[in-house]
Amino acid sequence: MKKNKQAKRYAKTLIETAGMDAAPKALSELNTLNALMAESRELTSLLTGPQFTAGERKAVLKEMGARLGFSENTVRFVSHLTELGAMTAFREIINHAVAIYLERKKMAKAQVITSTAVGGQYEGRLKASLKNLTGRDVEIEYVTDPSLLGGMLIKVGSTMYDGSIKGQLRLLKDELVKG
């Protein structure tokens, strides 16, 4: 509970210091760093472990930020998180920051899971339908899951819409069982 509250507070601080115009770039940079941490235990250890000094962390972050083209604000933010020992909640901070950004932009993020790639002809209709459903502009992330027989699953925030064949068959079975 406390970790979640802190993650929300740091996320809010990030959005406020970066500003709404620079927030997408900052979030992209943080996602890049998170991906690098997922690939490298050494980097994760450097940013989260007690065996390195704050000066060593700052130097590495500054060098890495320069090589990757990170903004100075992003480097300072991550450096501040390392000093506070908050890097263990880094993924949660990013997730909360994205949610805050989308909320302030009056947007929603949807994850569309299909068995095959969604063609361009359906993308516009899907976006329009989701905007109608949510009342907000929708940013869509497509995920392909070959285990789906057909149809699609759509996640918007914590809401799940099941338009898959398996889901429809399950509903039909429930109706038949009820009589």
For residue 108, the model assigns a pLDDT of: 81
Q: At 52, is the secondary structure helix, strand, or coil?
A: coil
d(CA 105, CA 129): 19
Place of tokens 């980097």: 43
Q: What is the pTM of this model?
A: 0.69
What is the H or E stretch that residue 140 is in?
strand 137-144
Task: List the one residue out of 111, 144, 116 whose CA is nearest residue 126.
Answer: 111
Closest CA to 95 of 71, 111, 116, 84: 111
Closest CA to 85 of 158, 11, 6: 6
Average pLDDT per 10 consecutive residues for the chain, totaling 179 residues: 78 88 89 91 87 87 90 90 88 89 84 84 85 85 86 85 86 87
Closest listed residue to residue 57, CA positions, set 37, 72, 78, 39: 78
pLDDT (0 to 100) of residue 1: 45
Helix (H, G, I), strand (E, B) or coil at 153: strand
Q: What whole-number distance in Å separates Cα of residue 45 and Cα of residue 56? A: 12
Confidence at residue 98, expressed as pLDDT on a 0 to 100 scale: 87
**143: part of which helix (H) or strand (E)?**
strand 137-144
